[in-house]
Chains A and B, each alone.
Chain A
């Protein structure tokens, strides 16, 4: 809310500098987000006196003026306004001045006459709303004075929190200033000079649902002359951020800003009369099919959820949200009905959302208003309308619920507040602090219920004798309901900065596993292995969500299962590109590759630890963790002593082997995956690895992107390797410790073996055969060469393996190793048609 300081001073004395005041309010919980110098864009605008006004010989609509701004030569200025006359004091923008909106004023020639500046309208200065004529300043305005010194102001932009609707007005902010400085609050004058026919004979109000409209106060002003408000009023409204409209409408807006009470004025002539000749207003829900043209000239469909101000012939206004065009106060209006009502906050909020009409008024209604304000606001507006438009206020009010609620009473225990805040403020100090915000206190009787929690889970605890006090809460403070509310009030008036500071010394919680443990371990290892971590949006385009990345046996990894189901869609997406929760990570990684390629970066090695999402058939949401990675371009750039090497599928498999090691699993087994899209049918495989006890603990699909998919993503890279892995404990952490084996005291024995197989025979099954045949003393197996060519036949290849045998319990007998090698040879022959090269 914008708070012009000069206006605030109507209600409370402010001695503090604006910045200091802003800090005080912020410390008190009324956060001042900005302190603005209002009128700082009137630089170069000074007060001048018109010496002469003559017709321009060549343009009927222009005048030639001479203006005195100081003791020097008068300035000749060409002006297009008609409301000027010699002797008037007016704002003069001198050459070089820059007006609001960035309009700069220069010496110009207009039809043969030089204009040395410009006379300004109120609108051009954003000082009043009048764009018709030049702003005529009071005759006593000092000549030559800078306008910014005369009318400039400080405006505080206060962020009033949703629970403090009472402070969404100048009077409310003044109360906070009072709490901070001790200065007395001055209330606006609400005394009304009433004359003529009583309102009861002119206006009748009928409330259909008192829950939706607990109070309606109506007043009547006769004989108004609608026109502009006084310049000072317009200046205040503009500084506070509202456009001046007319003296009647401005009075309602003025009171809304002053007291926080939204009020509506109707042209009484447009309201249908009842049999007794009275204007008769009904507050009722709209009927299906009813329509209303609102003030913004939009035709609105109404329905039973919308509360209306209506008359016999139909809707007049949407209650609390926006008036109707037909009953709007206009220049022809002479009789005005003032509506100052209380509406159900929820109903107003819903209606404002339904019509996308959240206004200054509806915002205040939504936060709830004290019933008393309906009366005070009606009186205040009537007084101002009468003062600014010359009307007469009819005696009395039409009031649907004249009984006003008593102040609330909230019991609290000073000792409990000390425990909550960690302070040693005693009861007397607490009472003194509350008194500064108008909260009086009195002793509570024994067994008075102390409200610990309120709706929707209320809890009250009976106070022991002498333990509690009653806080008597001013009617406008609807936010003080439970003991903790009182605690906050005490703390904020004392100043949060006065609270003690200590590190917690209460009991520590028991140990719990860190859910991030495995993810953190993988992160640091993968980063060390040259991959950069990325974090990509979980919301993706529908096409991305359909990007299939079958992860094979992933659903068999206990605790890491993917939810089988449809994608989860956002029903109110910001854009179609961010409308579906992704089922996996690889498509997002392709986006990252595409982005980086577009920015000239082709070597990309990245990984992400993120979630996949899906809706299960029972309507619940499933979320699961995955590791995704992508390699494209070269492994590092070429340097003076080593050439660049493109990433290939072996790099991808090596990464999975590394991941399995970090996760404490067996080396992964590979099964070729020939399904084609999204992967190259000859360069894709499913990985699986087991954990302790042979439990499936890693599963995923790894391979080279199918060229068609790469093209669909508009990728430049000739080869893109990608993979997505499900890993046991990725979601839950808690890695089992490594179980160390004793070292053998006997030397290991190495044997090399070359086996010739058909080209189509993959290495993985051959390795599995060797492992099985060699027996448990085989400690390591490594493929160190693959050879094709003479003397091998066409379609043959030789796989060279190094076998390392170890025995923990005794020296290896040569005969045992020979026997093992013989078993391996036989198994390779029967299993793969392989022959051992000698």
Chain B
């Protein structure tokens, strides 16, 4: 075998290999061609290379260079064919794997938090920004803690404001408001005090769309040397804006509670009519959302705090009322019925 013959055979090999590769379909066919042409032991190229040894020494480098060139040319073609085959195969697979992406997703089970508890949490969050700390008090109180220490002596006409459920314990009753917590906090802490007291309350009240015998309140208390009614007004404004929108009008007007002096009723612009007057706000344009005032000196005294040195404000709100206004709920009974069709509207 001479140089020319071998070179010609190599070129023929190249042409054939490239032709076969171009014609091959699928990665398996390419693998077979790889073994057939380039296999280290029985491959066609290996067989041709054995002819190099029979050439004169001076011819070998030149033929070797041709072998290398052809090998890399075929290897390159093989790699490209493989890549193309893979891409084709992948395209076919992906095409087969198509799904109906418009069908509904697999539902992820999630419950809902109760709107009352969520509203309490939201209220606590707002006042938490202003340094109010959460406390809790018992639900079974006594005439002394629920009334007398809040400056409501026995037979006081203001007792008409709280129809009370009594229990079969000596002097025991179910708290009619969260206000007894004020006294408890004052005994537990020294001023400065900023306290929030959420909890369940009870009244002797026939149940209808706007009355409940069990309901939730949040009480607030701030006491320090200079805590003034201007602070109360500012604090309540912030709260009204946080719960009902920054543009919400607020109104600060006189109210009456035996445990505050001066006493305050706090209104927001009607959430139904934005203040223009509608049946929901008795055409006044305003809705009362909480009662408040400066802590009565007698109450401070019962809390062990010197009413000459210290002063403070307190407020109390019905959680249901806030939740009803925020969520557009018309019937108080829904909260304790726990109809899932109602609860699952919340998120």
Task: Enumerate chain A interface residues (CB-CB to B < 8 A).
Answer: 19, 22-23, 26-29, 31, 33-35, 161-165, 345-346, 349-350, 366-367, 419-423, 452-454, 456-457, 459, 461, 482, 484-485, 487-488, 491-492, 496-497, 499-504, 506-509, 511-512, 514-516, 520, 523-524, 526-539, 568-574, 578, 581, 592, 595-596, 599, 601, 604-607, 609, 611, 613, 615, 619-621, 623, 635-637, 639-642, 731
Interchain nearest-CB distance for A464 vs B (Å): 13
User: Is B245 engaged at the interface, CB distance under 8 Å to the other chain?
Assistant: no
The answer to whether B138 and A509 touch across the interface, beta carbons within 8 angstroms, is: no
> Which of chain B's residues have a CB closer than 8 A to the CB of A539?
165, 202, 213-214
A-B interface pairs (CB < 8 A), number: 291
Can you name 25 A-B residue pairings with CB atoms under 8 Å? A163-B158, A367-B157, A422-B230, A453-B301, A456-B148, A459-B301, A491-B229, A504-B130, A512-B135, A514-B134, A516-B121, A526-B111, A532-B111, A532-B112, A532-B340, A569-B167, A570-B167, A571-B166, A573-B165, A574-B205, A595-B339, A620-B169, A621-B140, A623-B140, A641-B106
Nearest residue (CB) in A for B335 is A535
> Which of chain A's residues have a CB closer than 8 A to the CB of B143?
none
Task: Please give the number of chain B residues whose Cβ is less than 8 angstroms from any Cβ of chain A in the complex.
Answer: 100
* Complex-state Cα separation, A346 to B213, whole angstroms: 27
The answer to whether A497 and B251 touch across the interface, beta carbons within 8 angstroms, is: yes
* Complex-state Cα separation, A47 to B104, whole angstroms: 72
Interchain nearest-CB distance for B323 vs A (Å): 11
Nearest residue (CB) in B for A604 is B340
The answer to whether A456 and B166 touch across the interface, beta carbons within 8 angstroms, is: no
10 smallest CB-CB distances across A and B, nearest first, come from A422-B230, A422-B228, A29-B254, A530-B109, A488-B262, A161-B256, A621-B140, A453-B297, A532-B111, A484-B261
> Which of chain B's residues have a CB closer than 8 A to the CB of A621?
138, 140, 167, 169, 172
Nearest residue (CB) in A for B311 is A420
- 10 other A-B residue contacts (CB within 8 Å) besides A503-B234, A611-B139: A423-B230, A452-B307, A488-B263, A497-B252, A506-B227, A532-B343, A536-B336, A539-B213, A595-B339, A615-B168
* Complex-state Cα separation, A531 to B255, whole angstroms: 42
Q: A422-B228, A509-B194, A568-B168 are in contact. Are A499 and B252 (CB under 8 A)?
A: yes
Nearest residue (CB) in A for B153 is A456
* Complex-state Cα separation, A621 to B298, whole angstroms: 27
Q: A500-B233, A504-B227 are in contact. Are A459 and B338 (CB under 8 A)?
A: no
Interchain nearest-CB distance for A633 vs B (Å): 11
User: Is B124 engaged at the interface, CB distance under 8 Å to the other chain?
Assistant: yes
Interface window among B33-41, B52-60, B218-226: B218-226
User: Is B50 engaged at the interface, CB distance under 8 Å to the other chain?
Assistant: no
Task: Enumerate chain B interface residues (CB-CB to A < 8 A).
Answer: 103-104, 106-107, 109-114, 116-117, 121, 124, 130-131, 133-136, 138-140, 148, 153, 155-158, 160-161, 165-170, 172, 174, 189, 192-195, 200, 202, 204-207, 213-214, 222, 224-231, 233-235, 237-238, 251-256, 258, 261-265, 282-284, 294, 296-298, 300-302, 307-308, 311, 335-341, 343-344
Interchain nearest-CB distance for B266 vs A (Å): 10
Q: A422-B228, A457-B301, A488-B254 are in contact. Are A571 and B167 (CB under 8 A)?
A: yes
The answer to whether B235 and A503 touch across the interface, beta carbons within 8 angstroms, is: yes
The answer to whether B114 and A530 touch across the interface, beta carbons within 8 angstroms, is: no
> Which of chain B's residues have a CB closer than 8 A to the CB of A578?
213
The answer to whether B297 and A420 touch across the interface, beta carbons within 8 angstroms, is: no
Interchain nearest-CB distance for A90 vs B (Å): 34
Interchain nearest-CB distance for B79 vs A (Å): 36
The answer to whether A350 and B155 touch across the interface, beta carbons within 8 angstroms, is: yes
* Complex-state Cα separation, A503 to B131, whole angstroms: 12
The answer to whether B153 and A487 touch across the interface, beta carbons within 8 angstroms, is: no
The answer to whether B213 and A484 touch across the interface, beta carbons within 8 angstroms, is: no
Interchain nearest-CB distance for B108 vs A (Å): 8
The answer to whether B253 and A497 touch across the interface, beta carbons within 8 angstroms, is: yes
The answer to whether A533 and B224 touch across the interface, beta carbons within 8 angstroms, is: no
* Complex-state Cα separation, A787 to B301, whole angstroms: 72
* Complex-state Cα separation, A408 to B264, whole angstroms: 25
Interchain nearest-CB distance for A406 vs B (Å): 24
Interchain nearest-CB distance for A363 vs B (Å): 8
Interchain nearest-CB distance for B211 vs A (Å): 11
The answer to whether B214 and A29 touch across the interface, beta carbons within 8 angstroms, is: no
The answer to whether B192 and A508 touch across the interface, beta carbons within 8 angstroms, is: yes
